[in-house]
Amino acid sequence: MSDALPELIDSHAHLEGPEFDGDRADCLARARAAGVGEIINIGASGDIDSARRAVALAETDPALWATVGIHPHEAGRADESWWQVLRELGRHPRVVAIGETGLDYFYRHSTPEQQRQVFAGQLELARALDLPVVCHIRDAHEDARALVAEHRAVDHGCLIHCFTGTPEDADAWAAMGCYLSFSGIVTFRGARSEPLREAARRVPWPTPPRWWPGSEGCRWPSWPREPPQMPGLSSP
């Protein structure tokens, strides 16, 4: 049996930001040396220029991809010019999803109503373009599920990024057919992180959805065929 690690996909990076202009090439080289084969840069950090930068970066390297979106923190700033950029860039061949979008009722940098309107608009855009959505949801799972269901986002793929809800929230998202990602928060010590670890235990490992490579018309980079073995978190 080979000891070689499977090629990894970093599905949520922010290397398009100007803070990486001085050492981006070094960062990419270190990622490749560590076994990361492809990287999806999230074009939704701050203003709409983030989307432009993510797409421009993806054009420079066949191992780089992009998403485009409006983060819930910025929902109150989004105007028609932002939407025009999303509609144009969403059709770019290096764009694999809309996002990250969603609802964040913890920080509330934009009002809940502004966030809901902008989230709904991006769900509709993703539907029109037949693209999956990458969702940032914090302290707003019930409202977010209602919008995801209303706009039938699961039909073309819906990922709940950096999940931090309850085990019951995880069950509800999985029952809808959504995918969940867990970040390093799941490894934090102490009882406060135990509900998140329980959520990770309960979510089934997915099989590749139709919008992963290997299916006709897909534009998302490859999905690992076998889940990694994580002590205390592996599926039963």
Tell me which residue of 96, 145, 148, 142 sits closest to 120, measured CA to CA.
148
Q: Which long-range contacts (CB under 8 A, 24 or more apart) does 82-86 make?
A: 82/47, 82/48, 83/121, 83/125, 85/48, 85/51, 85/52, 86/48, 86/51, 86/122, 86/125
Q: Domains of the chain, with CATH numbers?
A: 8-161 (3.20.20.140)
pLDDT at 235: 41
Average pLDDT per block of 10 residues along the chain, 236 residues long: 69 94 94 92 96 98 97 98 98 97 97 98 98 97 98 96 96 95 89 93 70 36 41 44
Q: What is the pLDDT of residue 208?
A: 52
Q: Tokens 């978190």 identify what position? A: 233
What is the pTM for the complete model shown? 0.85
| Tens-digit pLDDT profile for residues 138-195 | 999 999 999 999 999 999 999 999 999 999 999 999 999 999 999 889 888 889 899 9
Would you state the pLDDT for residue 3? 58
Adjacent-strand bridge partners of 65: 40
